Every structure is written in C-alpha cells, then in structure tokens.
Structure 1
C-alpha cells in the first residue's frame, strides 16, 4: 500500500513556473475576453521534466527511497514543493513516475528478419545498462522491494516486462517463419540472447562494447537458427 512519506506544506507563493494568468480579469479597465481554457493552473511540461530529472539524479546518488525527500527534489529541480505535490501525492508516486520516465522506448522493429530486430533490442538493452540513472533505479528497486512493493511492481511492469515481451514477439515470429528452431522454449531462447550482456555488465562494468549486441546475436543464432535461416 502506498502511504505518503512527506506531507505537503502550505502552497509556495514563489512557485510560478506553471501558474495561470498574471493579470486580474476583474480589475477595472481590464478587457473581458472569453476564454475556453479549463479552470485551474495549467501544468508546465518543463517543470515536470525538471522534477523527474532531479528525482533520477538523486536516486542515482542515494539509491534509497528513504534517503530521498520532496524538499531535496524541489531544491534540485529549482521549484517549490507545491509544484511537486500538485502532480504527485507522495514520494513513492514521484519515484514511480521517474521510473516510467527514465525508460527508453522500444525501438521500431520492422520485422524483415529476426537477426536485425534482435540486434536492435540488444542495442537498447546496452544503452540502458550504460545509463547511470537506470543503474541507480535497478539498485533502488532491488533494495526497496520489501518496503515498497508497488514500486517494484511498477518497475517490473513498465521496464522489465515490456522488454521481455518485445523479445518474445520477435522470437515467436522467428519460429513462425522458420528462422528459429521451434523445439526450444521461447523463455529459454530469450535468456540465451539477454543473459550474456547482463552477466558482462555485472562482472565488468566497463566492458560492454558497442559491437557486443551483434556479436551475441550472431553467436546465439548459430545454435538456435532454423534449418531455412541464412543468418550471417
């Protein structure tokens, strides 16, 4: 259950990054112009991005939800606390939003051949592994799983499962077209392509060369390719 970890203080009058009109429509001499804009303050995309980026930077430094505070995020982002609380009710909700914002989109897969699509997926995986923000998120999620199960659930749903399903789609298509063997379970085949890069990252943080995705795909394909495949 998500419980607020920081209570919102009084509204910050200094916050103006996403404020409404500065003029008073009821003041004498002010033209009364009809306005179709919905009531309330519009949200500033720039302020929201600054808050999420600040949260990710602090996560990378502290790698703990407990060590994170709304006050610290506000200071890092250059906004008032009220600006944050208007968007997220508590610290955990903010961290979950940062997790979702940090995830890179799944690359466009043209489906012309399995090899190229697998390489695209592993290139994305490599980029995520080299992203220090993503590394901080992984450490945070694994370390906070018992205290913040919703954070772990959302990370698994938004990050892990999206990547796994994209890989499954490519592998199933490869089996259907005969590019891949049909006698190997999809989950095992998925692990054969993804595990080498994860292990390389764990054992040697700096040794994840740019050509590793292509090397892994071509090496694994020699064992899992279908009889009609002509992989290079």
Structure 2
C-alpha cells in the first residue's frame, strides 16, 4: 500500500517510530516528510511516457520541415537537397529521418501535403455537391501555389525530377483523381450522368478548366464560385438525353 494520501503511515512505519515504552522517541528516520500529497506515484511513468511519445515526433517533423523550407528559401536546388544536409540543418541524425521517411522524395511529398490545403471532405448529399467540393479543393490549391513562393518554386523544379514527381503523383494526385472518378461513377449509377460516356473523359472535362488556369495559364482567374460554374456548365452536357 503506497502513501498516496500523505496521511496515515504504514503499519511497519508506526512500530518503528513509537520507540520503547517510557522512553522519549528518538529522531524519526530519514524519509519523505508527511507533507501535503503530491501526484500519485503510479501516474508519473504514464505522464513521462506521454511526453516522450507523439509530441516529440511532431517536434522532429517540424524541425525537419523548417530545415527544408529554410534551405529552399535560401535558393538551394532540389538536386542538392540531400538527407545528410537536411539532418544536419535540422539538428537530428540521419537515422531519425530514415525512421520516418524512406528517402528525400517521401519527405518532400509530406512537406508539400502539410503546406497545401487539406483534401476535401465530400458532403455526399449529391454528385453535384461532391464534384463542386473536389473542384473547389483544386482551386484552393492553385491559389495557395500562387501565393507561396516556396510552393511555386518546388513545383517548378519538381517536374524536372521524375522520381520526385512520380512519388507526388502516386501519393497525392492519384488518390484525388480516384475520388473524382468515384463521384462520376455515382452520378452514372444515379442517372445524373450519361452512361455512354468514358469516365476518364468526364473527369477530364471537369478538372480541365482548373488545371488550365493553374498549370498552363498560371495567371488565369481562380475566382470564388469557379468550381460551381464549371460543374454546372459541364453537367449540362452530361445529363441523360430525353
């Protein structure tokens, strides 16, 4: 039984402190004073474990991301951005980086995802609402890339490095494309979109205007309401005839 309440001493302590009958008790043996109770002892390891867990890994991630952003802001080309240099700048060991990322490409993709707007949560109320949410997410990412020198520079360089571009395409672009294709499939199944059309072609019709204004014509307008206008215009030609 632990002295968690800071009050009644243990039975063996009482016998030790009582002394011999008729004699004055000697000085109490050294030990913790019977002061106001502290936090229960058995809670301390748990609290320490919490401090050693996720917050520390988040701190490492933040330090690494800050190091990469700093190096890129200084004008370091992606070709010279090595794991060794990132680790040295962040003040961590290479092993720490490799425990979290398989390599530089995976690290950079994670960094880009942390800077870009998050992937949309589809409302699921209608195919139109889902498509508008997806295109609005594309519009927001286009605006973010315009407003961020870092994003603009990284994307400008990234396509020159096939391994990095493939990693970004596989882990970021492809999942978003599948979301859009699934929404189109739901539209076909629900009779909102013609069944005689190729799904990839329909997806291209919807995403094409956003990609045109963010990639091919980077100065094109990305005004609020663009996603709704694109979806409503394209859906006019996608509805079943008759």
Q: Report the TM-score when normalising by structure 2.
A: 0.64
CA distance in 2, matches of 1:220, 1:58: 43
Q: Does 1:68 align with 2:85?
A: no
Q: Structure 1 stretches of 5 or more lacking a match? A: 1-28
Contact 2:87 2:97 in 1 (8 A): no
Q: Secondary structure at the match of 1:109?
A: coil
Alpha carbons of 1:81 and 1:157: their partners in 2 closer, same or farther (altered >3 Å)?
A: same
Q: Report the TM-score when normalising by structure 1.
A: 0.67
Q: Hey, what does 2:236 align to over in structure 1? A: 222
Once the 2 structures are TM-superposed, how far is the Cα of residue 169 of structure 1 from its aligned partner? 0.5
Q: Does 1:167 align with 2:180?
A: yes
Once the 2 structures are TM-superposed, how far is the Cα of residue 188 of structure 1 from its aligned partner? 0.2
Q: Secondary structure at the match of 1:127?
A: helix
CA distance in 1, matches of 2:211, 2:159: 15
Alignment match of 2:91 (pick from 64, 80, 91): 80
Q: Does 1:125 align with 2:135?
A: no
Contact 2:192 2:240 in 1 (8 A): yes
Q: Does 1:141 align with 2:165?
A: no
Q: Does 1:116 align with 2:129?
A: yes
Aligned-CA RMSD value: 3.4
Structure showing the higher helix proportion among its residues: 2
Once the 2 structures are TM-superposed, how far is the Cα of residue 66 of structure 1 from its aligned partner? 1.4
What are the superposed Cα offsets for residues 26-47 of structure 1, whole Å, 9 maximum, x if unpaired? Answer: xxx9xxx784778xx7533133
Q: Structure 2 stretches of 5 or more lacking a match? A: 1-30, 32-40
CA distance in 2, matches of 1:53, 1:60: 10
CA distance in 2, matches of 1:80, 1:73: 8
Q: Hey, what does 1:187 align to over in structure 2? A: 200
Once the 2 structures are TM-superposed, how far is the Cα of residue 65 of structure 1 from its aligned partner? 1.9
CA distance in 1, matches of 2:227, 2:71: 30
CA distance in 2, matches of 1:200, 1:157: 22
What are the superposed Cα offsets for residues 171-225 of structure 1, whole Å, 9 maximum, x if unpaired? Answer: 0000000011111100000000001111122214252111111111111111112
Contact 2:117 2:144 in 1 (8 A): no
Return the structure number with greater relative CO, CA threshold 8 A, min gap 6.
1
Q: How many residue pairs end up in the alignment?
A: 191
Once the 2 structures are TM-superposed, how far is the Cα of residue 112 of structure 1 from its aligned partner? 1.9
